[in-house]
Amino acid sequence: MIIAGTTTSTGENTKEMFEDLLKRTHQQAFHLALRLTGSRTDAEDLVQEAYLRAFRFFHRYDPSLPFTSWLYRIMTNAHIDDIRRKGKLKTSSLDEPHPETGVTWDLPDDSASPERLVVNSLMEAEIQDGLNRMTPDFRVAVLLADIEGLSYEEVASIMKTSIGTVRSRIHRGRKQLRSFLLKAKPEKYRGMLE
Amino acid sequence: MNCKFVESRLAAYIDGELDGAEMLRVRSHVSECDSCEREIAELRLVKTMIGSLPNTRPDPEFESRLLTAVHADDTRTVRVNGVFSLRLGWGGLTVAAAASVLAVIVVGINRDRSEQVAGVPLPPISRDGFESDQIYFQSNSPLSSGVTVSYDGAASNR
């Protein structure tokens, strides 16, 4: 019997392998988690939960498949579980500053010098808010395709569903985001999205 | 070919996920339908917006915090010959040890009874006193957070 902290040499190798994978993948995992949750704190919690679950079940990981696909399956399931547990979607008021960036919904002063930077930050906050309000299953599918650049087949594998369902979720998710932006800032997005 | 047919394939068309024949059919319709052409342009822009979101990095200390969490988690794992693992807090170790002793005794008693009644030799019992193909624990999954006991029935070196 091997208890608490003492492991075989093979166990040490496995641990080193896992740590190496963690070091190489955690930044990209964080980026996906941030877009899924809309909050740095929640993203860190989600990533940590995903790696802990992955470590506990690392003996079930098939090394012939990409580690990130396996990790993202764990992470997106944890994300959906968390939403169901909380029983509601996380949303923010259009009248309040964005919780992460502090950016408000007011359009920037055109005469301000860092206009381009401010506009980019503002659009990021608006898009992220739209993602936060998206149906969770749609959001996962859209982000895996548009942030991670995965194929529909890979998304279907991660979400344990059919390619047809992935196709539908991505389409409906993007339409939800478009509708949100048009409703939230019609004067800004009407010319682009309508 | 109509707009409804194209509507259900717009995302796949934008993402290049249609097969050749379908791609050609959608393209042919779009070239003659202003409404669908506009819809594609707008949804393609939505895709571009999402893909253009800045690649935000975690805090520099996040990696070390993750590794610390994994190490802390590892020390709470109990293994028996690399086959069977329980995840328990230290308070649960005593209970686990007691349960293990009880399980060995019960298996031993049942084995003796079976041999006496049937008179047929049983297959060899493993070193731990467990029949690996007869003992099942509630399955655990990395996709679920609820259960913390796992048994695979095959050697694991984690």
pLDDT in tens, B59-88: 999 999 999 999 888 766 554 444 445 555
Nearest to B11 among A11, A151, A170 (CB): A170
From B70, B75, B144, residue closest to A52, measured CB to CB: B70
User: Of A174, A173, A172, A170, nearest to A158 (Cα)?
Assistant: A170
pLDDT of residue B157: 41
Do the chains contact at B158 and A59, CB–CB below 8 Å?
yes
Sorting pLDDT into bands at 50, 70 and 90, what band is B98? Answer: low
Q: Which residues of B touch A19 (CB under 8 A)?
A: 67, 70
Task: Output the pLDDT for position B96.
Answer: 57
Q: Is A69 on the interface with B (CB under 8 A)?
A: no
Q: From residue A108, give the alpha-carbon distance in Å to each of A117, A178, A182, B28, B124.
A: 10, 21, 18, 42, 78
A98-107, A181-190, B79-88: which has the minimum mean pLDDT?
Answer: A98-107
Residues A158-167 have pLDDT tens digits of: 999 999 999 9
pLDDT at B92: 52
Cβ(B48)–Cβ(B15) below 8 Å: no
In the predicted model, is pLDDT for residue A116 greater than 90?
no
Return mean pLDDT, chain B.
69
- What pLDDT does residue B143 have? 67
The Cβ of residue B47 has, within 10 Å, a number of other Cβ atoms equal to: 19
The answer to whether B79 and A5 are in contact (CB under 8 A) is no
Do the Cβ atoms of B142 and A74 come within 8 Å?
Answer: yes
Range 166-185 of A in CB contact (< 8 A) with B = 167-168, 170-171, 174-175, 177-178
For residue B111, pLDDT beyond 80: no
Confidence of residue A88 (pLDDT cuts 50, 70, 90): low
Distance from the B111 Cα atom to the nearest Cα atom in chain A, whole angstroms = 23
Cα separation, B152 vs B95, in Å, equals 22
Given CA atoms B123, B140, A74, A139 in this order, what sign does their dihedral have? positive
Per-residue pLDDT at A164: 95
Say what the pLDDT of residue B87 is: 55
Mean pLDDT of the region B121-149: 45
Tell me which residues of chain A, numbers 84 to 103, contact chain B at a CB-CB cutoff of 8 Å. Answer: none
Mean pLDDT score, A110-121: 39
Mean pLDDT for A66-86 is: 93
Residue of chain A minimizing CA distance to B40: A193
- As a whole number, mean pLDDT of residues B36-63 equals 92
Position A33 scores a pLDDT of 97
The residue with tokens 């796949």 is B12
Selecting from B47, B54, B75 the residue whose C-beta is nearest the C-beta of A4 gives: B75
Q: Look-up: residue for tokens 């991670």?
A: A148
> What is the rounded distance in angstroms from the CA atom of residue B27 to the CA atom of residue B117?
77
User: What pLDDT was estimated at residue A119?
Assistant: 36
pTM for the predicted model, two decimal places: 0.69
Give the distance, in angstroms, between the CA of residue A2 and the centroid of all CA atoms in the same chain.
37
Out of A5-14, A159-168, B43-52, least confident range: A5-14
Nearest CB among B42, B55, B67 relative to A31 is that of B55
